[in-house]
Copies of this chain bind each other. A is one copy, B any other.
Amino acid sequence: MASMFDPQDPQYDARVRETFAAQRIMLTFGARLVRVAPGETDIELPYREDLGQQDGFLHAGVITTVVDSACGSAALSLMPAGARVLSIEFKVNLLSPAKGKLFVARGRVVKPGKNITVCTGDFVTQDGTKLLAIMVATMMCVR
């Protein structure tokens, strides 16, 4: 499916992947950026016990971390060359316990803007059948 958005920076893919690679927490978690398109990214996260809360499911904050990175990466893909992205704020609703072996965080731009970009994100089981969490995030473009 084609993206709704035109990237300003033809090198957007490389730039998003580079920024992702510089996020040490993604390495710490074992998260992988598996898809980049204009205004859209997917990050995979395999389950690990050491990312869990008290019942062994993924901690809500771990989910948030990965979905926030997906949203930030999606926003960054539409920003001009040289710009950086910062999360101003986000809200997350946890819908179901994150049980499973492999998860996907999907970030999507809803409204790009010169200064402010609004994204939605979600966190699903790898086959996409179960919606575990949703996010709305406000991102800022820093030049």
Interface residues of A, Cβ cutoff 8 Å to B = 19-20, 22-25, 27-28, 49-56, 59-62, 64-66, 68-69, 84, 86-96, 110-111, 115-116, 118, 120, 131, 134, 136, 138, 140
- Determine how many copies of this chain the complex contains: 4
Cα of A8 to Cα of B24 in the assembled complex, Å: 40
Report which of B24, B86, B89 forms a contact with A91, defined as CB distance below 8 A: B89
CB neighbours of A28 from chain B (8 A): 28, 50-51
What CA separation (Å) do A20 and B59 show in the bound complex?
12
Query: Which B residue sits closest to A59, measured CB to CB?
Result: B25
Pairwise interchain contact A91-B50, C-beta atoms closer than 8 A: no
Specify the main secondary structure of chain A where it touches its partner: mixed
- Bound CA–CA A65/B139 (angstroms): 19
Interface contact A61-B50, CB-CB below 8 Å: no
> Which residue of chain B is the closest to A120 with respect to CB atoms?
B134
| B116:A134 contact, CB within 8 angstroms | no
For A97, the closest partner residue in chain B by CB is: B86
Whether B23 lies near A52 (C-beta < 8 A) is yes
User: Is there contact, CB below 8 Å, between B94 and A91?
Assistant: no
Q: How far is the CB of A74 from chain B (nearest CB, A)?
A: 15
Report how far A116 CA is from B66 CA in the complex, Å.
25
Q: How far is the CB of A12 from chain B (nearest CB, A)?
A: 15
